[in-house]
Amino acid sequence: MSVESALEKFHSLKLTDIMPTSETMPVVTADADLISVLKILRTRHHVWVVENKESMKLVGVIRYIDVIDVLLPPEAHKFKLGMTSRTMRSMLGGAAKAEDIAERHVLTIEEDTTVLEALMKMRKYRIQVLAVVKDGKLVGEVSIRILIDELLRLLRVGGAQWKQ
């Protein structure tokens, strides 16, 4: 298989065919305490926040970089206009649960979408991971790392070689 045909196959793959099982995803419930969230973020770049494990209704996402707002004291966020949403995300500002610090505007993609569509959305919004949903429920995730792994798997299986 040539690199071109491997890429063609790669782009047409459905996300359901390549996304990891939901058991391996970093997921917490909305009422999870912040210590649990921080423990996950030691080894992951994000944590999905869901209403509960039964419904898996997506509430938001907490990214590794968002922890800065959680750790800073509330006064570090204050501007002339007073309180900001970031002030409320501070542990010292009262944030206690995952839902208190989760980013509610999560970029999602439907599970029957192709790799090419996922890549286009990632590029458009300059993000590295998308929540894969079905009827508002979190069913998986797709990240640049997952996509790289899948392309490398295709190239190895197909015996294609990169030529410079």
Domain contains 7 = yes
What is the number of structural domains in the chain? 1
Mean pLDDT of the chain: 89
Residue that has been written with the tokens 């996402």 in this structure = 61
pLDDT digit string, tens, across residues 87-145: 567 888 888 999 999 999 999 999 999 999 999 999 999 999 999 999 989 999 999 99
Parent domain of 136: 3-158
Q: Strand, helix or coil at 55?
A: coil
More confident residue, 164 or 142: 142
Domain contains 89 = yes
- pTM (two decimals): 0.85
Question: Token digits for 138?
Answer: 């979190």
Q: Which pLDDT score, from 0 to 100, does residue 158 have?
A: 61
- Residue spans of alpha helices (H) in the chain: 3-12, 15-18, 34-41, 67-71, 85-88, 98-101, 115-125, 144-158
* pLDDT cut 90: percent of the chain above it: 66
The CATH number of the domain holding residue 99 is 3.10.580.10
Of the CA atoms within 13 Å of residue 63, those in its CB half-sphere come to 12
Is pLDDT of 164 > 50?
A: no
